[in-house]
Amino acid sequence: MMKLRNRMIKLFALGLLLAILAGCGEGNWNEVANHSAETSVAASSETSNESEPVPAENQRIVSTTVAVTQIMDRLDIDLVGVPKSVKTLPARYDQAVKVGNPMSPDMELVKSLQPTEVLSVTTLQYELEPVFKQAKVNAEFLDLTSLESMQKEILKLGEKFDRQEQAKQLVEEYEQALKELQQATAGKEKPTVLILLGVPGSYLVATEHSYIGDLVRLAGGVNIVQGEKVEYLASNTEYLHQSNPDVILRAAHGMPEEVVKMFDEEFRKNDIWHHFKAVQTGRVYDLEERLFGTTGNLAVSESLKALLPMLYPDIS
């Protein structure tokens, strides 16, 4: 089991930005255990600052993920270090030092910046926390695994760095987007949904506890996976077919174009997919990586709007 776990972690490190543990079993759901919400929240609380707000200008803050960097930009907070990414980061951080990949930041670079704080996310905590501790770097892991948890983290950051108004405005934007979506879908039958999360060579099934799963739930979709406590499960097509979802959502990460081709080949060659209602009715959708990441991000409003016609074809 340990070998399988390590293999899964290495595989999904390319694109999922997650530390995943894989279990094994035959003919049943193979549970892939992410780090529990309880563990993440507890660890975050240990590093949280309960004292008076610290002016951001007196801080030397390093952000190691794109999502956190974007949030800090909206809160009008300067950073001395940001992640290296193919994605475009806010212009205000053009002069900030690139500290490396979110999964493996360059600790020498990070330490050279003499940071007062380093920000990452709880989905990377299992792998990175020991690294930061060994380097004696003060790191905080933000919980962005759901819209609600992301909103709480934004408000906490606003309090911590004296940016309460900016934080409140950002949270209210998301509340308004959610309210509009719920009004548009009121009284409509909730579709059942299968969410596949893929990177080159493999894919998993996302539960409601994943970020994309949370968005689908908020949009009124019913995840075919119920009663689980983890974010992702290994795929079992026979079981999935028994659930026969109304909609199949495919999220491609790491190398999106390659993953979409992988999905297309899988759906073409594996005969069982031809018997899925969603495939027969043409309700299989590929999600744009920019909108549907593995953790919360600033594209919430746009993401919810994109989901609407996928889940409710009669809504334009």
CATH number of the domain to which 45 belongs: 3.40.50.1980
Residue 76: the pLDDT is: 96
Q: Which residues contact 94 (CB under 8 A, 6 or more apart)?
A: none
**Cα distances (angstroms) measured from residue 20 to each of 31, 34, 36, 105, 230:** 10, 5, 11, 19, 10
Query: Taking Cα atoms as reference points, which of 43, 46, 45, 49 lies closest to residue 61?
Result: 49
The domain boundary residue, chosen from 154, 180, 206: 180
Residue 85 has pLDDT above 80, yes or no: yes
**Cα distances (angstroms) measured from residue 255 to each of 14, 116, 288:** 9, 34, 12
Say if residue 43 is in the same domain as residue 160: yes
What residues does 141 pair with on adjacent strands? 120
Say if residue 107 is in the same domain as residue 202: no
Domain around 137: 37-180
Residue 55: the pLDDT is: 66
23 three-class SS: coil
**Residue 185: inside a domain:** no
**Residue 300: inside a domain:** yes
Per the CB < 8 A criterion, the answer to whether 95 and 84 are in contact is no
Residue 44 has pLDDT above 60, yes or no: no
The model's confidence at residue 75, banded by pLDDT at 50, 70 and 90, is: very high
The domain boundary residue, chosen from 114, 148, 180: 180
Radius of gyration of the chain (CA): 20
Residue 179: the pLDDT is: 93
- DSSP letter, residue 274: G
Residue 199: the pLDDT is: 82
Q: What is the mean pLDDT of the chain?
A: 84
230-246 pLDDT, tens digit per residue, is 999 998 888 888 999 99
Domain total of the chain: 2
